[in-house]
């Protein structure tokens, strides 16, 4: 049986899923995490390797000539030098679409937390503030109703559309900017140009890939075109935002609040300006991580390998 090595399996499966379907396809070794100086050693003479965020470089592939297949336990695959892999005849597969529902839901969760500060008010009750309050209710932040407000979504693929459907169910008007309008998107939103979206949205949610043309798409110039008091959401890719520019806008009040599940460098660095910005809600890149979503990821990753072993590879990103 082929030797299979998972280099960093913990975030995909911290113990609530099973590796057995993968183990049925070969001699499996799973590492929770692999430091850079152990990558070559742990791959050893394995033919099949899986990685989530552990980088697989050309040098690593040169040092591990037995590798025949690389499975990425994610949608993004830039951790692998897929060009070098192609040159060596090694297919690299990814897992598209597994987190659509979870990521769309999480974007709205960020928005609702901004609108209601439920965690804060729950803690305030437990601290005794309701019990000792002279009135029958209190709130520490403005409570925001989303009905009839405009949600602008930049990037209207599967996740953007999932987010748009929920926003529409909340009574929001949904507009979208995307280079490739499609019929399913038109059922949810009105497609507009970017400047129109920036200037008319009450909430702006980012769901576009990170390309050179989208890097820093939220910056001081684009923020200047937005409504005063806009809310910005990003659970797509951190570098879509120029973080100092967003921090400045939050601190000045131009942007009312931001809900972010991603930042430019992850894990976040202590000097990130958003950590000290006003009304900035930051979660540790967990939009994708529901058990249901991770199970789908596992199922597709296993099927990717099974299809490869059967001679019918799918989800190959470096054909």
Which of 116, 165, 285, 306 is flagged as catalytic?
285
Q: Is 237 a catalytic residue?
A: yes
Q: Is 31 a catalytic residue?
A: no
SS in 3 state form for the chain?
Answer: CCEEEECCCCCCCCCCCCCHHHHCCCEEEECCCCCHHHHHHHHCCCCEEEECCCCECHHHHHHCCCCCEEEECCCCCCCECHHHHHHCCCCEECCCCCCHHHHHHHHHHHHHHHHHCHHHHHHHHHCCCCCCCCCCCCCCCCCCCCCCCEEEEECCCHHHHHHHHHHHHCCCEEEEECCCCCHHHHCCCEECCHHHHHHHCCEEEECCCCCCCCCCCECHHHHHCCCCCEEEEECCCHHHECHHHHHHHHHHCCEEEEEECCCCCCCCCCCCHHHHCCCEEECCCCCCCCHHHHHHHHHHHHHHHHHHHCCCCCCECCC
Which of 207, 237, 294, 296 is flagged as catalytic?
237
Which of 87, 127, 145, 266 is flagged as catalytic?
266
Going from the C-alpha of 10 to that of each of 51, 73, 223, 250, the distances in angstroms are 11, 11, 38, 35
Q: Is 121 a catalytic residue?
A: no
Burial label for 273, CB within 10 Å (0-12, 13-18, 19+), is middle
Give the Cα-Cα-Cα angle 116, 108, 121 (nearest 5 degrees). 20
CA 71 to chain centre: 19
Residues 6+ apart with CB under 8 A from 139: 117, 121
Q: Which residues are catalytic?
A: 237, 266, 285
């Amino acid at each position: 049986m082929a030797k299979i090595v998972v280099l960093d399996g913990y975030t995909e499966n911290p113990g609530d899923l099973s590796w057995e379907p993968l183990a049925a396809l070969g001699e499996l070794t799973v590492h929770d995490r692999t430091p850079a100086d152990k990558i070559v050693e742990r791959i050893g003479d394995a033919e099949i390797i899986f990685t989530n965020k552990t980088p697989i470089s050309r040098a690593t592939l040169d040092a591990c000539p037995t590798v025949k297949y690389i499975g990425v336990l994610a949608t993004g695959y830039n951790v692998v030098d897929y060009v070098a892999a192609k040159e060596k005849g090694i297919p690299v597969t990814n897992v598209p679409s597994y987190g659509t529902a979870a990521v769309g839901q999480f974007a709205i969760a960020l928005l609702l937390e901004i609108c209601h500060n439920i965690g804060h008010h729950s803690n305030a009750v437990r601290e005794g503030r309701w019990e000792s309050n002279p009135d029958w209710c209190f709130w520490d932040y403005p409570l925001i109703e989303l009905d009839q407000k405009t949600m602008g979504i930049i990037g209207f693929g599967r996740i953007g559309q999932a987010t748009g459907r929920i926003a529409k169910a909340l009574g929001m008007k949904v507009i979208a900017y995307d280079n490739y309008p499609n019929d399913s998107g038109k059922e949810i939103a009105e497609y507009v140009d970017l400047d129109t979206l920036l200037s008319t949205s009450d909430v702006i949610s980012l769901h576009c890939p990170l390309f050179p043309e989208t890097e820093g798409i939220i910056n001081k110039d684009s923020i200047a075109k937005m409504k005063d008091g806009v809310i910005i959401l990003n659970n797509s890719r951190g570098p879509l935002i120029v973080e100092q520019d967003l921090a400045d806008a939050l601190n000045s009040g131009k942007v009312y609040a931001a809900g972010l599940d991603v930042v430019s460098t992850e894990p976040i660095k202590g000097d990130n300006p958003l950590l000290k910005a006003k009304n900035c809600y930051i979660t540790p890149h967990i939009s994708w991580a529901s058990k249901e979503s991770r199970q789908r990821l596992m199922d597709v990753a296993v099927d990717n390998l099974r299809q490869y072993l059967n001679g019918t590879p799918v989800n190959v990103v470096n054909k």
